[in-house]
Structure formats: structure tokens, C-alpha cells
Structure 1
């Protein structure tokens, strides 16, 4: 499968994957995910320099959260302004699932920036365009006339409701998977960092061990076809997907891409603001990372949820940009590749990450000086 080009590595001086001995000594040894947070660090003075490396306490906390979680998990926290990154399993590829809608949205906005498309362009969704799983727009598709809307509406549905049919319609409009891979390649991301799969229908049917037919988009026919497969066939297909996910991405790669988006390096200033506003109003995953973001902070994000084969759940993700009241932005990626832990335990992990980031946040020099102005 064709994928994007090479990824630029994070400078070693700004990348923290291992915990220094002193920090490791402070890391709690409990098996619970409720990692006690160290005391918040004092605010720097207006003349202090911006921290060029993360606090040892944050390094220890992120590492311990990842180590304690019962399953395969990757975590990355990237300070957008200073460039440091803290991670646990940050370079491993995890299934993105609907996180990959983020790259479709960026490819669309890039086409708008280049004058190739307009968000006001009319698009008609027909029965033949329907996909599977979560697709609220399917209720709007009536008879042969289908449902006519705009690319802007499809973008809102894809990013805020994670509507698979809306996303696949945008994907066709921008030129298919190769167009998304091309966009990522132009932004210096590649198969060692961010992959893009074949679209929802092919990705999900292959993951389940099925060959897609369009009738599976109707009602619960996909679920029925999947349930009729021998368990051994489903396990074989799921294992193959998890071992080499065609939509795989590393938490560090995603966090860096989000950081570039926040800095205006992925899209024009107008498109950057518009996409981040859409992501801030996302309705999915209210109990994931977002539930740990304190009042006064903002969180623009995209979730992803993969298929289950009891007792295993796969591709349970939340990635986004968490912004402090002083304007400091942290790009966060929490990706659970595989686990048998119940959903509340997954929520606990994700909320612990955002709480740790907020608890150990230090305003930048610029922000402190601004706050102290009369």
C-alpha cells in the first residue's frame, strides 16, 4: 500500500522517552492507574527563560501511567512552543481508526487554501455512498434523490460526530487515499510516523475478515455477516490488522503533526482557525481526555474507536491540542492499541494524562509577563 515519505526525527535534546534516575525514583510503584501527582511547580518570574525540556515529574508520570495500564498503550505530550516531547511507546504504530479523519479534513482544507475546492460546494449522498458503523447521515438519505448538502456540513459531521459516510464522501472529493498520503508527504510525514488506510469500508471489512459488498451498508447486515464468521477467522484477521495496521500512526508523529497544525504550518491561518474551532466543538469522547481538562483550558480533538472481539477492544484513541489560559499549547495523543480493560479504566488513563499536563504546566515567560501587566 502506497504511503507517505520520510518523517523528520525529533531532536534528541527535545525528546524524552526514558526517565532520568532521579525522576524514576519519584515515580509511584502502585499498580493502580491513579498515579499521585507531585506538587505543582511554582510560577516562573517574568524574566525566567522558557523551559526547553519537560519537568522530570511529567516524564515520570507519563511513563508510569503507560506502564501501569493493562494493555498496549502509547502516549505522547508535545509542547508546541518549546518543542519538547514526553512519550511512552511513542514511536510504535497504533491503529488510528477515526483519528485518521483528521488527515482527510486537513487535505480538504489544504485544497480549499489552494483554490481547488470550496466548502460551499454541493455534494449529494446516495445509498451507494453509505458505509458502516457510525453514520448518522444515513438517516437523511431518502430514496433515489439522496441527500444534498455541502462540504462544510460533511466536514462538521466527520470531525464532530465521526460520521464515516461523511468522511468517505470528503475522501472521494479530495482524490482518495493517495491524495491524503500526498498531503502528508508534502508535510514531511511518512510510514514511520503516520499512515493512511484505504477508507472505512475496506479497512473495517478487512479487519473483520470480510470482503466488502455494498449491501453491508444497510441496517445491521455488516454485523450479521461478521457474526457468522468462525471466531478463528475473525481472530486471524484482527491479529493481522494489529500487527501491521494500514492506518497505523505513532503517538509522537500525531502529536508533532498537531503541533504543526497549531503553529500554522499545516494550513493557512484562516483554515487553521476554522479546523481547530470545529475540533473544539467535537461531540465524541466527552469522557476521554477532555474530561480531565480543567476549566479555563480548551481542548480541540479527534477520537477513534476500533472493533471489539471480546474480551479485546482495539484502537481506542483520543488526540488533540490542549491550550492553557496563558496560551501555551500541548499536543496530546493517547492511543490504546489493544486492551481488555473496561471503558471506565480507559477513561481513567486518558483523563490522568490531561490532568497531569495541566497540573505540571508552567506558563511561558511571555505569558507570565502578560498576566502581570496592569
Structure 2
């Protein structure tokens, strides 16, 4: 009888803990719903917390355009090619002037307008990851065999990549062809930082590069304490004549004070909010997630 009584007590305690956890997760879900309510935007969210099966999602399985967030899976594919002996971080790439296209985001072109310069593959990766350079991204894509190589390595589940940066700039619709679900994006980040995609050295290299990302700083990092480390990638579309911005995205890994990590992925699609307000949606969701899990 004592054994049965103790077993029942243990089961009740476990059930109570599970119910409490569910209530806490639901409360974060509720906070995020309040953030996006009445916003003129289609918002997708996926957050992976610090416990097993701890996930908060809104439109988590809906496909959203990636824009420059696709540079993270591109980087993973390049590092995979390096591990297979096809490339090396220190190999030299000759960047031709004709490869530096006009009318695209390219800090590299601003610094080296004439091109015709040799840089290492590692430097090219940093231009792509830290400064979101579109020209260097396409050069790296050509090096690994195009978007098909990325699709093959990352897989087809909830992930579509067909256009490089030049392709995304052809017309309004072309920028939305590359897509991912928020759940796939957050899951890819989690699998990455757990060291399950590339080796330990390359995992740390890519993580550090994303910590030093200089773009999208008003999004995931925008309302967090300055000391908080965030390894992130952002993506932004054009705004049409009607004032609609097709995509304002950000996903990343946020470090908590207890050395644990959470993953936050937010996709703001077809928004008529001002650009600052669209970025604030992401910042508010990131802050809510950070404060929630920091208290836990």
C-alpha cells in the first residue's frame, strides 16, 4: 500500500509539473499573440525553449519567404563542402569586377568598387554572414554548385531554395520563391548549435560569425540588454508602391545568463506596418521570449 501511495504521489507531482509547464508555455504564447494582434502583417513565429519539447509557435508550419536568412543554410553547405575536402577556408577567391553587380546590397562593392581582388574563402563567408553581402553570396553559391547543392544538403522538408540573390532581384515575385517554415528554421538552428550538422570547429566558427552579424540589429537584439549575445541572421524584401513590405525576418540563437540557449525565429510577411514597426514586432517577441525563459 505504501508503494502504491508513493507511486500515486509521484505521478501527481509529475502531472502537476507538466501542467504547470504547459500553462507557462501558454502564457508566452498569449504574450506573443498580444504583440501581433491588430498588426497589419502575416506573422510566423517559432521559439524553442530550454526544456525538451518546449516550443511556442504561431503559424509554425506555414511557409514564409526567407530573403537573406537563406545565407545561413548557404554557409552550412559551404562548410559541409569544406569537410568533404572540396574547399578550404584559406583558399583564395579572385573576385572579378563583373561579378560585383549594381543595384544590390553589397558593402564589399562599396569598399572595392573595381573588384579584381583576391580574398580568402573565409573572408568571403564573413562578408556574407556579417554584412549580408549579396554579391559575395552568389559567388559562394557558384562555388558549391548553386542553390541545388543547398537544397540537397538541407533537405526538402519545409525548405525551398531555387533563387540566388541575382535571381531574387529580377522582379517582385522572385524574392519570395525561397521559403521555409518557422518551425524548420528554428529546428535547423537548434540542430546546428547542438553540433549535429557540421563538425565542432566549423560549428563554433559559424556561431561566432553570426554573433558578429552587423545587420538586422533592431530585430532580435533590438530590445534585449546590450550584453546579451545573439547569433542571428536577418532578411528583408523590397517595399512596393502600395507601401507593403514583403518580408522582414530574423532568426537566431539567444544566450541566457544561465549559459542556456533559446532559439527565436520570426517572419513578418506582407506587412503594411512602417519598417520600424515591422522590426519592432520581432524585437518585442524576442524580448518576451528572453524575459520568460530568463525567469525560468
In the superposition, the TM-score normalised over structure 1's length comes to: 0.69
Picking from 278, 286, 291, the partner of 2:209 is 278
Unaligned runs of 5+ in 1: 1-47, 209-237, 365-374
Q: Is the alpha carbon distance of 1:67 and 1:169 closer, same or farther for their aligned partners in structure 2, counting shifts above 3 Å?
A: same
Distance in 2 separating the partners of 1:198 and 1:349: 27
Q: Is the alpha carbon distance of 1:295 and 1:167 closer, same or farther for their aligned partners in structure 2, counting shifts above 3 Å?
A: same
- Counterpart secondary structure, 1:90: coil
Aligned to 2:3: none
1:324 aligns with 2:256: yes
Picking from 248, 252, 259, the partner of 2:179 is 248
1:137 aligns with 2:137: no
Aligned to 1:339: 271
Distance in 2 separating the partners of 1:74 and 1:251: 6
1:294 aligns with 2:294: no
- Counterpart secondary structure, 2:263: strand
Distance apart, 1:296 and its partner CA: 4.4
Q: Is the 8 A contact 2:65 2:180 kept in 1?
A: yes
- Counterpart secondary structure, 1:111: helix
Pairs aligned (count): 276
Distance in 1 separating the partners of 2:224 and 2:126: 23
Aligned to 1:33: none
Distance in 2 separating the partners of 1:335 and 1:149: 33
Q: How does 1:212-223 map to 2 (within 5 A)?
A: none
- Which string of whole-angstrom CA distances, capped at 9 and with x for unpartnered residues, describes residues 137-166 of structure 1? 1235565x7121011111111011100011
Q: Is the alpha carbon distance of 1:123 and 1:52 closer, same or farther for their aligned partners in structure 2, counting shifts above 3 Å?
A: farther
Q: Is the 8 A contact 2:237 2:245 kept in 1?
A: yes
**CA-atom RMSD, angstroms?**
2.2
Aligned to 2:195: 264
Distance apart, 1:128 and its partner CA: 2.4
Deviates more, 1:257-266 or 1:127-136: 127-136
Aligned to 2:57: 87
Distance in 1 separating the partners of 2:252 and 2:86: 27
Distance in 2 separating the partners of 1:346 and 1:273: 31
Distance in 1 separating the partners of 2:145 and 2:295: 42
Distance in 2 separating the partners of 1:74 and 1:330: 17
1:58 aligns with 2:23: no
More helix by share: 2
Moved over 4 A (4+): 51-54, 140-143
Distance in 1 separating the partners of 2:235 and 2:128: 12
Distance in 2 separating the partners of 1:59 and 1:174: 40
Q: Is the 8 A contact 1:126 1:141 kept in 2?
A: no
In the superposition, the TM-score normalised over structure 2's length comes to: 0.86
Q: Is the 8 A contact 1:62 1:86 kept in 2?
A: no
Unaligned runs of 5+ in 2: 1-16
Q: Is the alpha carbon distance of 1:351 and 1:116 closer, same or farther for their aligned partners in structure 2, counting shifts above 3 Å?
A: same
Q: Is the 8 A contact 1:52 1:82 kept in 2?
A: no
Picking from 225, 234, 238, the partner of 1:303 is 234
